[in-house]
């Protein structure tokens, strides 16, 4: 399968600008941030302590020099890293450009600065670490040195800011409604954030290899504040208080008291994406913006209500549809996306509204832009069918 192509990227950039302009007209802007996980491998002969963690200062200085709003930090498993975007006020388009640069160039930086043999941006790193957690422990390992297959994720974080600088996620019902939008659209659009077959192998790691205690990656579409599409307001994923800010320190610089400003950090975290060189940041930013537009339009009509409890939904088992038996099929991600018109029609609808409002389309923006982007996404998979 080909990585995302320039022509599709050009179309998608036009659609992102279109949605950014429309949201600005409505009086809002979306804040979108990525987190990307991966691993690295050294040459077997390298005399490096394999149990020590790399210091990523050289890479981060280089990213800062390039004006990339993000940094690389160590993650939980051995030789696992995470790229986290910084909150520098970058637009969604700039955030997509940042991640696109990182996916394309980070292997070069690892090789150049740290003589890393291979940088892995892929859904699963097979036998990436060893160990078995003690029963009931989240940190203590036993003497069992079985292999652990490391799942790597791409996470999409979303908040919405109004013209007064307020975070709408904290407003009554808006966060819940936006979460409901993502929950509703994530199945049909899973091809966008699970773009290769190994992404579906990542979903079954915990059960297939008995790693449920060691791995915490989500495996289905679920809501709440701990699900795969999580709404963080007062509480975070681990039930921790969100947005705590120190108020008072003692003479040893220890925090004596804090205040909780959760309204500032409230957000939706879409945690289902699989780390992959085939992941298209532009298409996924576009997917996030479409959900934001949906929620904002309902919010402006004062129709946001607490949605009904969401029943978790299983994701497909593959990119492609398979016949299970004579009477049953397992529908794949490609077919789900092909048969749904929400993604393409939502782009077309915004394009039509901006034309009626006489908001300028981006240069080179084509009619029925949503249809063309959908066709470009599916074109990547036609030769595999």
Contact 172, 163 (CB under 8 A): no
Per-residue pLDDT of the chain (385 residues; tens, 9 = 90+): 555 555 889 999 999 999 999 999 999 999 999 999 999 998 765 545 555 678 999 999 999 999 999 999 999 888 999 999 999 999 999 999 999 999 999 999 999 999 899 999 999 999 888 765 545 555 555 555 678 889 999 999 999 999 999 999 998 899 999 999 999 999 999 999 999 999 999 999 989 988 887 788 899 999 998 999 999 886 556 656 655 555 455 566 665 555 556 567 789 999 999 999 999 999 999 999 999 999 999 999 887 777 878 999 999 999 999 877 777 889 999 999 999 999 999 999 999 999 899 887 777 778 899 999 999 999 988 756 5
Phi first, then psi: what are they for 133, rounded to 5°? Answer: -70, 145
In angstroms, rounded to a whole number, what is the distance separating the alpha carbons of residues 28 and 33? Answer: 17
Tokens, residue 360: 């300028």
pTM reported for the whole predicted model: 0.90
Considering only CA atoms, which of 302, 303, 286, 365 is closest in space to residue 23? 286
List, in order of start, the domains of the chain with CATH numbers. 19-235+265-318 (3.30.590.10)
DSSP class of 169: G
Separation of alpha carbons 362 and 141, rounded Å: 54
Distance CA 167, CA 174 (A): 10
């Amino acid at each position: 399968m080909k990585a995302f192509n320039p022509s599709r990227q050009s179309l998608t950039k036009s659609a992102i600008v279109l949605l950014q302009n429309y949201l600005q007209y409505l009086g809002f802007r979306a804040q979108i941030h990525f987190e990307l996980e991966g691993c690295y491998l050294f040459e077997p002969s390298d005399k490096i302590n394999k149990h020590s963690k790399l210091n990523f200062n050289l890479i981060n200085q280089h990213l800062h020099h390039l004006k990339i709003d993000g940094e690389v930090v160590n993650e939980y498993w051995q030789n696992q890293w995470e790229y986290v975007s910084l909150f520098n006020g970058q637009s969604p388009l700039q955030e997509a450009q940042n991640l696109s640069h990182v996916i394309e160039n980070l292997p070069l930086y690892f090789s150049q600065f740290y003589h890393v043999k291979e940088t892995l941006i892929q859904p699963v790193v097979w036998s990436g670490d060893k160990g078995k957690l003690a029963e009931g422990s989240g940190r203590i390992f036993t003497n069992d040195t079985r292999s652990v297959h490391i799942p790597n994720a791409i996470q999409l974080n979303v908040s919405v800011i109004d013209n007064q600088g307020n975070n709408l996620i904290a407003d009554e019902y808006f966060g819940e409604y936006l979460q409901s939008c993502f929950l509703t659209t994530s199945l049909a659009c899973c091809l966008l954030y699970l773009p290769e077959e190994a992404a579906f192998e990542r979903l079954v790691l915990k059960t297939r290899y008995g790693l449920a205690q060691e791995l915490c990656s989500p495996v289905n579409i679920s809501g709440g504040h701990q699900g795969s599409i999580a709404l963080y307001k007062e509480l975070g994923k681990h039930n921790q208080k969100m947005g705590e800010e120190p108020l008072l320190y003692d003479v040893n610089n220890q925090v004596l008291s804090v205040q909780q400003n959760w309204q500032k950090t409230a957000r939706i975290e879409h945690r289902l994406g699989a780390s992959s060189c085939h992941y298209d940041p532009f298409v996924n930013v576009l997917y996030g913006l479409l959900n934001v537009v949906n929620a904002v339009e309902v919010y402006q009509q004062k129709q946001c209500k607490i949605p009904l409890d969401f029943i978790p939904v299983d994701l497909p088992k593959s990119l492609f549809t398979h016949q299970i038996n004579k009477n049953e099929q397992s529908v794949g991600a490609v077919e789900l996306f092909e048969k749904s018109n929400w993604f393409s029609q939502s782009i077309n609808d915004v394009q039509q509204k901006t034309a009626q409002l006489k908001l300028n389309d981006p240069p080179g923006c084509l009619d029925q832009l949503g249809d063309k982007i959908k066709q470009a996404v599916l074109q990547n998979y036609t030769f595999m069918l």
